[in-house]
Amino acid sequence: MSANQNTAFPRCFSGALKEVAREQGFTEGLYRLESESGSKVGDGFAGDLVKVFIREGDRELVILCKLLPENETRKQQGISLFVRETEAYMQILPLLLKFQTDKALPEHLPRFDNVPRCYYAKTTLDSMESVVIMEDLRLQAYRMWDKANPVDFEHARLLMATLGRLHALSFAMKDQQPEEFAQCREFTDPMTKMLALDPKKTFQKMAASMCRRAIDTLEKDDTYRRGKLELLQDRCVQEIEACVDANAAEPYAVIGHGDCWSNNVMFQYAEDNQTPSKIKLIDWQLSRYGSPVLDLVYFIFNCTDEEMRSHSYQRLLSIYYQSLSEHLHNLGGDVERQFPRSAFREQLKKFGRYGLLIAMLIMPMICTPNDELPDTNKAMEGLVKENPDGDDEVHFEYGTTEKAAIRYRKRMSGCIRDTVRLGYI
């Protein structure tokens, strides 16, 4: 396909590709575009990925393009998430990274550079169009962890250290450049905006259903833990909204990734092909200004298991805090003044239940092997079956196969036991 014959692409997509090609020095009329599917089953739930090759002579640029799903239901559900990712890549992350660059840190010091290069991102609500164009990290041998298996300590350790540096940027900038940082404070939770546009309360019904399903992973005679969850059952949405309330997290709120689980993290490996050496955070569609502990408990309670948490939970928190402390110091801040350990403990006590609340929603998807995943379009469209009496049924297909159900029962019950043990609920 030549550069001037992009009719196979949506209009907004062809325009975006043309702009990227021009900016990257390709010659109008001489380069050609070729494309193929950019993802495997189970790689992403919120958008469609297309891999595009821009070729001219012996030069080639390979990019990964993220588009709104063609399915109308998923498009309506997902447009606000694309708005957020566009803002993250075009405004917020460049702002934080420029602050870090301006510090001119010595080369030997670690820094936060754990996001893919974004060539282009634009979302237009009026026409319901969105394109996000990034580098394809797989060309640099980055790969995802298999989401159906809990991560090991080395992968979790690397992520905790990375989140420490990400959050340190906010602590440093809001202290040293409060006026420039002000726009980050407006980066409120996108999920609560979506909930406000949910007149049928579909999400609320789904959350209550998923909570009941989580309770059923506990032994019948485990009345204490069952009782704790039953108190949450009809309040899941309100509890999530309370956890993501940035005002409740002040003065410690930061820009966080917001959707920190295995599918949104990619690793590059050392020569042994086992030890992760580098990491990138992808999919910033739920990024937000809020408590720093949200990213931590989201990942730890959804992507590790009860066995690892039994001996490494506090260790992972310490790795995070040490990384945040060191990077904040390198950026000219002071962790004892800006985020003392006592405040960190208080934030965990206040918002730690968020890990469980999210687990009730996404653990079924995590525990479903990719070869057993249902069709995403059908699963989302058939989520709620409306009954005449008003008592709508929620049917969530994920985690229902035999293999997935066994994994789900073990991981979910462990998540509940640890959340109760730590005093988060």
Q: What DSSP assignment string belongs to 167-202? A: HHHHHHHHHH-HHHHHHHHT---HHHHHHHT-TT-H
> What pLDDT sits at residue 308?
97
> What pLDDT sits at residue 24?
97
Q: Is 377 helix (H, G, I), strand (E, B) or coil?
A: helix
> What pLDDT sits at residue 43?
52
> What pLDDT sits at residue 76?
79
Whether 396 and 210 have beta carbons less than 8 Å apart is answered as yes
How far apart, in whole angstroms, are the C-alpha atoms of residue 100 and residue 80?
28
pLDDT of the chain, 425 residues: tens digit per residue:
333 344 356 677 889 999 999 999 999 999 999 998 876 654 555 678 999 999 999 999 999 999 988 878 778 778 889 999 999 999 999 999 999 999 999 999 999 999 999 999 999 988 888 999 999 999 999 999 999 899 999 999 999 999 999 999 999 999 999 999 999 999 999 888 777 777 678 888 899 999 999 999 999 999 999 999 999 999 999 999 999 999 999 999 999 999 999 999 999 999 888 899 999 999 999 999 999 999 999 999 999 999 999 999 999 999 999 999 999 999 999 999 999 999 999 999 999 999 999 999 999 999 998 888 776 655 555 555 555 555 555 556 676 788 899 999 999 999 999 999 999 99
Number of other residues whose CB lies within 10 A of the CB of residue 247: 10
Minimal CA–CA distance to 288: which of 88, 123, 1, 75? 88
The overall longest dimension of the chain from CA atoms, in Å, is 72
Residue 269 token pair: 């490996």
How far apart, in whole angstroms, are the C-alpha atoms of residue 259 and residue 85?
11
> What pLDDT sits at residue 54?
97
> What pLDDT sits at residue 4?
38
> What pLDDT sits at residue 380?
56
How far apart, in whole angstroms, are the C-alpha atoms of residue 411 and residue 364?
10
Minimal CA–CA distance to 22: which of 12, 13, 30? 30
> What pLDDT sits at residue 70?
82
Q: Is 68 helix (H, G, I), strand (E, B) or coil?
A: coil
How far apart, in whole angstroms, are the C-alpha atoms of residue 304 and residue 313?
9
Minimal CA–CA distance to 213: which of 201, 189, 228, 230? 230
Q: Provide the 8-state DSSP code for 2.
A: B
Whether 92 and 184 have beta carbons less than 8 Å apart is answered as yes
How far apart, in whole angstroms, are the C-alpha atoms of residue 351 and residue 238?
13
Q: In the chain, where are the structural domains located?
A: 143-422
Q: Is the dihedral of CA 220, 223, 224, 226 positive or negative?
A: positive
Angle formed by the axes of helices 153-176 and 306-330, to 10°? 30
| Amino acid code (one letter) for 205 | K
> What pLDDT sits at residue 181?
98
Looking at domain 143-422, its CATH architecture is Alpha-Beta Complex (3.90)
Residues in the chain: 425
Whether 312 and 153 have beta carbons less than 8 Å apart is answered as yes
